[in-house]
């Protein structure tokens, strides 16, 4: 997220983090800050942003290098250590820290390894939806006329299909379901929201004087769309995308919970929540830890989205 | 007004046809042969299978099947399930259950959500407001399966206030717990939307005028503030009604409610194209009419909005 904001900032931004304090005021005097840079300065001071960013960095580390946090194989089941042997909360970072699940697998190791599926689904679906929806929305908003009519009506039709229901139908068509089939299903159903946001935003920006000026100077359609309109229309899309990311992670877990998302041997918190329901009365901790991880992950992205929205749209404050 | 409604109804037709078309082809592309599956583990007798498929029109091309399906749909015929029940009867059994559940959830989120949002918005920055913000954020981030199991475990199994699963779908007392789970995430959104809207409108000129001319506080808040602040909430509630009806798959599964979500889940698992698309047709209609209702409500709430 911070990456995207930084990229939209002007070239002067490199100098600012290096020499803070007095240099910031100088840079300000030389060049007015862009919306993205302004938002970034604002974000760095917000506790909500810092907490969620730290959480997300840790989760991304879990996803990239789970071996750093546990040396236990999350798929190795030892039935002599099943859920009735209580967790040992003093054994920090060890296999029995949070106990074992119904098949004697370390809950702690599965919590760490489960981050990968959630992160990949969340990030890839958001990227896919933003690209597909963003391009369609830009085309609809910029060209107007029959292009807009066709794209908007098609969006309306696809919007009527509930996300969970449509994903169930699509995923049922896959015999073997991997992370990528879940990503595919969620992108196919999720782009409509992004198209609507982008279209509305582009229509507003299109009428600005600087767009007219660029046209008068003879800029081509591509240049106007990507150099002038896109940077000014992207803010609401970034906000919606960040908040939606948490929603896609929850959707993956829900689908896996229903037995129609990810399958073993992929490790997913949703699958673990499903298998925990059989032992919930004797061992609630088997449900608690994957469910807690899932909730914290979704929470981190929703908080990030809230902070980004406040920073990008000062009117909403 | 009448012309506006007529125009909106006409605009609904292409959207409805388009959605039904998309869902028809999605469901008919499900793998596996539900007709052959009727023979169970045994290999199907080719002659009988062919006869069955011919009788059902399953041997036609997908496009011919589509035309037949759409033709039948407009005479109110939703087709047959694989075991020869009318899809419309299956829908007729499941829909009332889900409507009861969705309405309970809807009333819950409407009353509790607007109530909490109103109090939080009026006391912006105070302890109640801050705790509302934190609690609603937590509620939004807890996925439905987790919330369902936690509530079932705490309220039904440990405290014993309600039955853990729904035995009789006409017993509203048993439906309360699933309805609370179903409505809780939307409740958090409703509370947050109401809070923001109320806090914004508190500063409006008409509020100062209303207070200055000496209106009682009840009237200032009830007639002036709430009525003006409720429009964004109504927009959300309108799209949510459709989501509550179709999105209850998880909740209905956990609490064993024999409604639309449960029937759909099993129909998808059995590759029953006709049943799935039948349910979706009904859900899309609910969704479309809910959004029309919302737009009409705008005009009732805010007389500045007029539809010609």
Pairwise CB contact (< 8 Å): B149 & A277: yes
Does residue B100 surpass a pLDDT of 70? yes
Q: How far does the CA of residue A66 sit from the closest CA of chain B (Å)?
A: 24
Quick check: B125 contacting A, CB < 8 Å?
Answer: no
Quick check: B241 contacting A, CB < 8 Å?
Answer: no
Tens digits of per-residue pLDDT, B240-253?
887 787 768 888 88
pLDDT number for residue A64: 87
In this predicted complex, what is the ipTM? 0.80
Tens digits of per-residue pLDDT, A160-181?
787 888 888 888 878 788 889 8
Nearest to B15 among A157, A284, A306 (CB): A157
pLDDT number for residue B123: 87
User: For A156, which residue in chain B has the nearest alpha carbon?
Assistant: B15
Least confident of A2-16, A110-124, B143-157, B205-219: A2-16
Tens digits of per-residue pLDDT, B11-20?
888 888 888 8
Does residue B162 surpass a pLDDT of 80? no
> pTM for the complete prediction?
0.82
Q: Stretch B55-74: mean pLDDT, rounded?
A: 81
Are the beta carbons of B146 and A295 closer than 8 angstroms? yes
Nearest to A258 among B142, B246, B250 (CB): B250
- Residue A263 is encoded by which pair of tokens? 């399958």
Q: Which of A160, A174, A276, A303 to mutate to test the interface with B (most CBs of B within 10 A)?
A: A160
Does residue B308 surpass a pLDDT of 80? no
Computed over every residue of chain A, the mean pLDDT equals 80
Interface of B with A in 251-270 (CB under 8 A): 253, 264-265, 268-269
- Residue A249 is encoded by which pair of tokens? 């992670």
What residues in chain A have per-residue pLDDT under 70? 1-33, 35, 82-85, 90-96, 313-317
Residue in B244, B232, B233 with CA at minimum distance from that of residue B103: B244
pLDDT number for residue A26: 47
DSSP secondary structure letters along chain A: -HHHHHHTS-GGGGHHHHS-THHHHHHHHHSPPPHHHHHHHHHTT-HHHHHHHHHHHHHHHHHH-GGGT--S-TT---GGG-TTS---TTSTTSTTTT-B-TTS-BHHHHHHHHHHHHHHHHHHHHHHHHHHHHHHHHHHHHH-HHHHHHHHHHHHHHHTS-HHHHHHHHHHT-SS--HHHHHHHHHHHHHHHHHHHHHHHHHHHHTSHHHHHHHHTT--HHHIIIIIIHHHHHHHHHHHHHHHHHHHHHHHHHHHHTTSS--TTS--HHHHHHHHGGGTTT-HHHHHHHHHHHHHHHHHHHHHHHHHHHHH-GGG-
Tokens 């908080």 belong to residue: A303
Cα separation of A293 and A253, whole Å? 11
pLDDT number for residue B307: 67
Cα separation of B121 and B108, whole Å? 19
What share of chain B has pLDDT > 70, as a percent?
96
pLDDT number for residue A134: 92
Computed over every residue of chain B, the mean pLDDT equals 83
Does residue B149 surpass a pLDDT of 90? no
Does residue B59 surpass a pLDDT of 80? no
Chain A residues with beta carbon closer than 8 angstroms to that of B288: 160
Residue in B82, B81, B87, B77 with CA at minimum distance from that of residue B49: B82
Q: Stretch B176-193: mean pLDDT, rounded?
A: 89
Pairwise CB contact (< 8 Å): B145 & A160: no
Q: Which of B146, B276, B287 to mutate to test the interface with A (most CBs of A within 10 A)?
A: B146
pLDDT number for residue A314: 58
pLDDT number for residue B1: 73
Nearest to B143 among A154, A166, A250 (CB): A250
């Amino acid at each position: 997220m911070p990456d995207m904001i930084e990229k939209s900032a002007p070239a002067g931004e490199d100098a600012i983090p290096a020499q803070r304090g007095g240099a910031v005021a100088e840079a300000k005097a030389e060049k007015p800050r862009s919306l993205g840079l302004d938002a970034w300065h604002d974000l760095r001071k917000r506790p909500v942003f810092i907490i969620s960013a730290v959480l997300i960095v840790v989760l991304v580390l879990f996803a990239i290098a789970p071996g750093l946090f546990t040396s236990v194989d999350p798929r190795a089941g030892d039935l002599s250590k099943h859920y009735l042997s209580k967790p040992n909360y003093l054994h920090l970072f060890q296999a029995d820290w949070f106990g074992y699940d119904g098949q004697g697998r370390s809950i702690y190791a599965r919590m760490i390894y489960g981050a990968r599926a959630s992160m990949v689904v969340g990030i890839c679906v958001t990227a896919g939806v933003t690209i597909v929806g963003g391009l369609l929305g830009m085309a609809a908003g910029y060209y107007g006329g029959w292009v807009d009519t066709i794209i908007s009506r098609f969006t309306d039709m696809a919007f009527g299909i509930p996300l969970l229901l449509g994903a169930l139908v699509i995923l049922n068509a896959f015999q073997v379901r991997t992370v990528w089939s879940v990503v595919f299903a969620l992108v196919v159903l999720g782009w409509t929201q992004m198209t609507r946001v982008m279209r509305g935003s582009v229509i507003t920006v299109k009428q600005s004087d600087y767009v007219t000026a660029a046209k008068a100077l003879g800029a081509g359609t591509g240049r106007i769309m990507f150099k002038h309109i896109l940077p000014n229309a992207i803010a609401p899309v970034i906000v919606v995308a960040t908040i939606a990311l948490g929603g896609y992670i929850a959707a993956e877990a829900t689908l896996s919970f229903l037995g129609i998302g990810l399958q073993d041997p992929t490790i997913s918190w949703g699958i673990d929540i499903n298998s925990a329901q059989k032992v919930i009365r004797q061992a609630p901790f088997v449900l608690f830890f994957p469910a807690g991880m899932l909730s914290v992950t979704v929470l981190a992205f929703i908080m990030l989205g809230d902070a980004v929205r406040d920073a990008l749209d000062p009117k909403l404050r | 007004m009448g012309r506006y409604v007529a125009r909106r109804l006409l605009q609904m037709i292409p959207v409805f046809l388009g959605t039904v078309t998309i869902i028809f082809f999605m469901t008919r592309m499900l793998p596996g042969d539900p007709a052959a599956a009727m023979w169970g583990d045994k290999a199907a007798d080719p002659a009988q299978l062919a006869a069955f498929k011919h009788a059902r029109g399953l041997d036609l091309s997908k496009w011919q099947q589509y035309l037949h399906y759409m033709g039948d749909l407009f005479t109110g015929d939703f087709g047959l399930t694989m075991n020869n029940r009318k899809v419309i009867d299956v829908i007729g059994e499941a829909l009332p259950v889900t409507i009861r559940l969705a309405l309970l959830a809807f009333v819950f989120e409407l009353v509790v959500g607007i109530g909490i949002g109103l109090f939080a918005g009026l006391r912006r920055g105070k302890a109640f407001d801050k705790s509302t913000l934190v609690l609603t954020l937590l509620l939004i981030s807890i996925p439905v399966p987790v919330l369902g199991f936690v509530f079932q475990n705490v309220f039904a199994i440990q405290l014993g206030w309600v039955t853990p699963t729904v035995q009789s779908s006409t017993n509203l007392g048993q439906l309360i717990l699933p309805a609370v789970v179903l409505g809780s995430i939307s409740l958090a959104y409703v509370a947050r939307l109401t809070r923001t809207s109320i806090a914004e409108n508190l500063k409006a000129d008409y509020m100062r005028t209303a207070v200055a001319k000496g209106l009682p506080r009840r009237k200032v808040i009830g007639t002036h503030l709430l009525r003006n602040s409720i429009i964004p909430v109504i927009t959300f509630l309108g799209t949510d009604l459709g989501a509550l009806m179709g999105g209850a798959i998880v909740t209905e599964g956990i609490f064993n409610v024999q409604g639309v979500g449960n029937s759909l889940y099993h129909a998808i698992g059995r590759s029953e194209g006709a049943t799935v698309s039948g349910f979706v047709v009904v859900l899309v209609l609910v969704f479309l009419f809910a959004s029309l209702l919302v737009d009409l409500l705008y005009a009732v709430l805010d007389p500045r909005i007029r539809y010609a």
